[in-house]
Amino acid sequence: MKLRDYQEICKAKIEANWRKGSHKQLAVMPTGAGKTVLFAALASEFTRKNQGVLVVAHREELIIQAAEKLAAATGIIPGIIKAGYKPNVDAPIQVGSIQTLARRQKYPEANLIIIDEAHHAASNSYRQLIAQYPDAQILGVTATPQRIDGYGFEDLFEKLVVGATTGQLIAEGHLCKFKMIGGFAKLGLFTPKGRDFTIKELERAATKIKPEDVVKCWQDYCFGKKTVVFAVNVSHSQAIAEQFQKNGIAAEHLDGETPTGERKAILERFRTGSTQIISNCGILTEGFDCPDIDVVQCARPTTSISLWLQMLGRALRPSPGKEYAILVDQTDNWYRLGTPDQHRHWSLKPESVDKNSPGVRNCGYCHHVFKPMEARITSKVVWNPRSETFETLLTTPCPNCSKPVTWQLISSSDITPNQEKKEEFDLEVEYREIPSECRFEILEQIVKIRKLGSRFKNLPNREKKFIHSLTELIHQQSDIQLAEIRVALDILEIGFSPTEILAHALLVPLCQLAAYNNWYQIERLMKGRTGDIKKLIWDMLPKHYQKKIHQLKKDLAEKPTPSAILSQVTFKVGDPVAAAATNDLKYLWHGVVEEVSDDGSEVFVFWQSSQGTATSSYEIHEASYLRRLFI
């Protein structure tokens, strides 16, 4: 397969960079310039040296097109890595779906990796792919090496190789001349920077680009010509196709959900001329070659230069009898993004986006404005002592200078309908970072306890209430961590140590239970506690209590288990019961069984004594100190 002069020049630049040690390159060639032919020629050089080649794309059309061109250039039938295709693992050339490769996590051996439509290469799946081949030559090919989020491609590629321009290829006859027709409608849409239009914004545009207007425009400016229409969404595209049909014009609709067989049949009818118009939604922007397309009719607004040039490029391929292409823009893309032959300065470097665009950030070091990539955002919870609240701070590296850019996440529920969402954080506040092992919900409960206690004006009463409430929380939350108690006391600047709090909450009752030989309540008190809390309490426990607890545990091991004893005794609702503080028969509490679980493993008792009333539940193995009264 003979290359054109501009393709040979581009190929030579790529190979020269490889020789100089630049292993990751991004090549730029306009739509219709023959990117697939170029990388097929490069692949042929590798296969002649018995080196493997992997070509990766994100759409079936691109995969099949690449496989066909590679077979023609090299004489080798490539293996296809994609669901629904029989693998050929022995083929030295593999053409794979990035989705399939990412899902299977099985990457073939290769010395050359080619990424088709590489303006998509910033996604995580492509990054994972590149990471699998640290020693291979990586080549991305695209018509538009630009992103609308303010990031560049410097972190992925080392060199940018710019091939022939659209203007040059038109002048040399490799692409056809064109006429652009626009200025039909003012859509009244706010033009976002740093992102494309949202679905809702596009739906609003669809109400102003009516199907009947699309048909009338076609009849006025390009009647009888083979046309591809780009619509806002599926329903918009279907309505446009139906409107053409109502006017007696052979038109069909395509979208991403069109079954593969039906899609191929529609495209074949379009190629042969039995279908004159194809209206589509986001499906024919890449990987569709039909040189005799006369007209591209754009009924979809966009801020993406990549999408805009991909759409227009469908009509720029020359074919016999085509004097020029007609590019009809029924939006204001032409005003915003220019003509396809306009000179553009491509670069791997990031470019700032509009700082007023939603979701963008501004670097305080180099003042670069960008829209953060979700995968690069890290979060941490901090304590704001000024507002006495926990806040979430997000951080991402600036794509221009790599310095950290930090902002505060504000919940949308905190924003009133007419209030602009501010996401900056107060630089004057000394934030306290919360360790990741601490649970936010536990810390919030401790803060709430502190705030409730602040109503006591007397300091001793306030401290007493705090310790009492925190003790209750520690009893209820058996898995509370020592670090959580320590962090909470620190950020709230409370004059107690974790040791003092835990001594009150656990050590004192543990000593009391040991004094009464109540092993089952000891077990209940300490069950589920973290290892560091257990160790702290044990180290504080007086030696004679340590010995007593050891003895209780030893005695229990030598006696029949509580469940064995209780298996001979059952409880039923209404049974009078009593409980003693010691294991003798001096009953201190009397009660009535209110409820028994279905399997008999849990007993709910209503207690009465001179000190008041209470309701408690007991698992069957804990109920050995319940004495059933046979009256």
For the stretch 343-356, pLDDT in tens is 888 988 877 655 54
By residue count, the chain amounts to 631
pLDDT score of 86: 92
One fold for both 5-164 and 562-628? no
Domain extent listing, the chain: 5-164, 171-337, 361-414+421-433, 440-558, 562-628
| Measured distance CA(279)–CA(277) in Å, rounded | 6
Low-confidence ranges of the chain (pLDDT < 70): 1, 148-150, 185-199, 205-206, 352-360, 366-369, 371, 374-375, 409-431, 453-459, 557-571, 577-590, 597-631
Pick the CATH number of 171-337 from 3.40.50.300, 3.30.1370.60, 1.20.120.1760, 3.40.50.12780: 3.40.50.300
- Determine the pLDDT at residue 44: 93
Quick one: pLDDT at residue 52?
A: 95
CATH T-level fold of 562-628: SH3 type barrels. (2.30.30)
What is the per-residue pLDDT for 401? 76
Q: Which residue type, as a one-letter code, is found at position 273?
A: G
Question: What's the pLDDT score for residue 408?
Answer: 76
CATH no., domain 5-164: 3.40.50.300
User: Which candidate, 58, 55, 101, places its Cα nearest to that of 74?
Assistant: 55
Q: Which residues pair with 591 in a beta bridge?
A: 577, 607
Tokens 């890290």 locate to 378
Which two three-digit tokens encode residue 113? Answer: 């990796």
Identify the CA nearest to 450 among candidates 437, 433, 435, 469. 469
- Does this model's pTM top 0.75? no
Q: Is 53 exposed, middle or buried (0-12, 13-18, 19+ CB in 10 A)?
A: buried
Q: Judge contact between 178 and 293, C-beta under 8 A.
A: no
Contact 137, 23 (CB under 8 A): yes
DSSP state of 578: E
Q: In which element (H, E) is residue 279 found?
A: strand 277-280
Pick from 526, 508, 517: nearest CA to 553: 517
Reported as type and span, the H/E element at residue 295 is strand 295-298
138, β-bridge pairs = 24, 113
